[in-house]
Amino acid sequence: MKLLKKYWVFVFILIVTVGMYLRFFKIESFQEFGWDQARDAWKTRDVIMGKLVLNGPRTGIGHMELGPLWYYLLAPFYYLTRLDPTAANYLNFFVNIFNFIAIFWVTKKIFNKNAALFVSLFYAIDEYLIQINRVAWNVSPVPGVTIILFYAIYKVVYEAKYKWIFLVSFLTGLFFHLHFSFVFLPLIVLFSFVLVKDRVKTIFYSLASLPLIFIWFIPTFLYELQSKNSNLNSLTNFFKDYLIKGFHLRFFLYRLYDSFIQFQTVLSLPKISRYLVLIVPIVYILFLMFEKDKKQKILGYLMMLWFIIPSFVYSFYGGTTSEYYMLMTAVFVIYIVWYFFMKIINLKIKPLVYLLIFLSIAFIYFQTKSEWVKEEKGYSLKYQKLFVKNRIKESNKINFNEGDIKAYLWQIWVEDKRP
């Protein structure tokens, strides 16, 4: 422990280096460049060509359009690489660095350096997080933005630092540009602020900070004004096609799996039962009921809101979901693991401590064993580039397809004359 306190910066850099290697080494040779990345490439090309792009990525269900921030973040990288789509990997590299720094900084502030190193290591070596972090898309910044937003809420609720509400509002609006899960945030923030000490100040700062939310919606409002086929139509169709009328307890219980799914993905729990994902959070809640530390109780309440509120919202939603819809809760899963980890360590029972160390080493091994050696894949960006080059030699044109990176490569190499 003394060594960690003295050399914690070096240890953190080592953890990040390992995490980034597992995510990005030879990424162009094995990572798929799919529909989302091709769409982003076309849109970013429009930005570089001087077009004002006001609509962002579409959600998988209902085709709601998010804000366009991701395209403008991609633009400098596409410009420097002369529109080469590998630019998305470069941006994603820096976004992942941001995620690591945000997670470490917030954890260190809330807990301590040891906790920050533990959480960072877990985040670095977790197989699911490695694989989801490789994907270059607008969802990539979600873990880092979420944890900073959580910290801002914590500062308001626990430390009564009401000026942090401005950051809460700013990041809540920013989330509209990242993922559909932004719909959960107003309720999460509202129920978090139930614990504030001064409600008058909270209301005052909340009202004063509203412009920091609405500013993120300006591109979408402008897009609606100039669009012939209004995005409001897709929004109306979404409510009509996917929302369920009324609350149904059985469906709510069914949706609990979707809200707590990150316990399964992050902890690699076996898929024996849908409700296996509830075991860890239920035990955690039981521990909190007897927890004497006020800070831990407040943190527990604030974290569980990020799981429970989506479960209620999802109970009105009749469409399908994917595990990344709850990616914002991934770090909270690791926080809960750290909580139990420290409970066991504090018992000071050597056999249990040794068992915990053994299980930790085994977890690291099984999570990373398939990630160290990178095998080239036929669907990777590298192979798709080779495919297009062969088509160019044969003068065999690839027609426009929004979700096909090969069509994009044909456009920039043949039509745009970008080498």
User: Which run of H or E residues covers position 241?
Assistant: helix 231-242
Q: How far apart are CA 142 and CA 223, in angstroms?
A: 24
Beta bridge partner(s), residue 32: 380
Out of 10-24, 238-252, 282-296, 359-373, least confident range: 238-252
Please report, as a single letter, which amino acid is at residue 401.
N
d(CA 81, CA 87): 6
Sign of the torsion formed by the C-alpha atoms of 330, 331, 336 and 342: positive
Per-residue three-class SS string for 7-36: CHHHHHHHHHHHHHHHHHCCHHHHCECCHH
Residue 130: its pLDDT value, please? 97
SS3 content of the chain, % helix, strand, coil (to 5): 75, 0, 25
Mean pLDDT of 285-310: 95
Where residue 1 falls among pLDDT bands split at 50, 70, 90?
low
322 pLDDT above the threshold of 90: no
Work out the angle between the directed axes of helices 87-110 and 142-159 (0-180°, nearest 10).
20
Q: What is the pLDDT of residues 376-411, one digit of tens each?
A: 777 789 999 999 999 999 989 999 888 899 999 999
* Torsions phi, psi for 376 (to 5 deg): -70, 140
Helix (H, G, I), strand (E, B) or coil at 403: coil
pLDDT confidence bin for 308, thresholds 50/70/90: very high
Share of the chain above pLDDT 70, in %: 93
Contact indicator for 134, 371 with CB cutoff of 8 Å: no
Residue 362 identity: A
Q: What is the pTM of this model?
A: 0.94
User: What pLDDT is stored for residue 2 in this prediction?
Assistant: 62
